[in-house]
Amino acid sequence: MSLKVATWNINSVRLRAGLVGRFLQDHAPDVLCLQETKCPDDSFPLAAFRKLGYDHIAVHGQKGYHGVAIVSRLPFEARDARRFCDKDDARHIAVTLTKDAGAAAGITLHNFYVPAGGDIPDPALNVKFAHKLQFLDEMIEWGQRDRPAAGRSILVGDLNVAPLEHDVWSHRQLLDVVSHTPVETTKLGVVQESASWVDAMRALRPEPEKLFTWWSYRAQDWEKSDRGRRLDHVWLSRELEGSLASMDIVRGARSWERPSDHVPVTVTLAL
């Protein structure tokens, strides 16, 4: 069987439930991980996704900010959502596919929304940047202590860091811009190494090809200027590396009506 996993920062799931439905119909992922749902759990648009065959939905939201969810047509068991930085922010949710999920049974998915970090890349001047660095430090501790990639597992999400030179439109011009500063890109590399995660997108489309998943709302013409960044990621545990079959950045979604500033990324495994 194949397992198609998608990740998408939706920037309000209620406002864009229609776009999510379109994506589910057009791209038919088995599991979709959403970030920035900005939606309390009791107002998540469950019915819109269930009627498309996505009966299994895990939500971890809050009013107005952050929020993550997993929408699946395969059955799963919910795992504990982790707390980071002594805050109750909804920035992580995890599930394990159950035995009814066929060859995908037992795969654990971790869905993350890492803090954006504000504008000033100095933790002494900007508490939001300090929070982002602390969050990455705690992801490193988690990787080292809990070995989340010891078996068959997948980590996806909006990690709000574009780690490689060709993950941004201009490496030189973004070196002091939050999301591509050396302190962040180095830390994200340590997060990845802490549990031996494999970067699925770059395994299939290595540098120097430029890969972007986010384009600012502020550009006059996002497509023409193409000043993007790769903020969204799909990582695989070593056990799944050999099953990696294909990857797609759904760039066209950035032109849908009232789009998110992020586009979906899909990764397909042949199991």
Partner DNA sequence: ATGGTTGTCATACAA
CA distance 153 to 3: 12
Encoding tokens for residue 217? Answer: 């709302």
Candidates 4, 12, 199, 271: give the one binding DNA (CB under 7 A): 12
The three-state secondary structure class of 200 is helix
CA distance 41 to 8: 18
Residue from 27, 10, 16 nearest 247 by CA: 27
CB of 196 to DNA, least distance (A): 28
CA distance 267 to 33: 12
CA angle 113, 77, 57 (to 5 degrees): 60
Q: Is 83 in the site for DNA (CB under 7 A)?
A: no
Q: Is 172 in the site for DNA (CB under 7 A)?
A: no
Q: Is 217 in the site for DNA (CB under 7 A)?
A: yes
Q: Is 38 in the site for DNA (CB under 7 A)?
A: yes
Q: Which uninterrupted H or E stretch holds 160?
A: none
Q: What string marks each residue from 99 to 128 as x (binds DNA by CB under 7 A) or -?
A: ----------------xxxx---------x
| Closest to DNA by CB, 56 or 132 | 132
| Closest to DNA by CB, 117 or 264 | 117
Q: Is 258 in the site for DNA (CB under 7 A)?
A: yes
| Closest to DNA by CB, 117 or 157 | 117
Find tokens 């989340």 and name the residue: 148
Q: Tell me which residues touch DNA (CB under 7 A).
A: 11-12, 14-15, 36, 38, 63-66, 115-118, 128, 217-218, 258
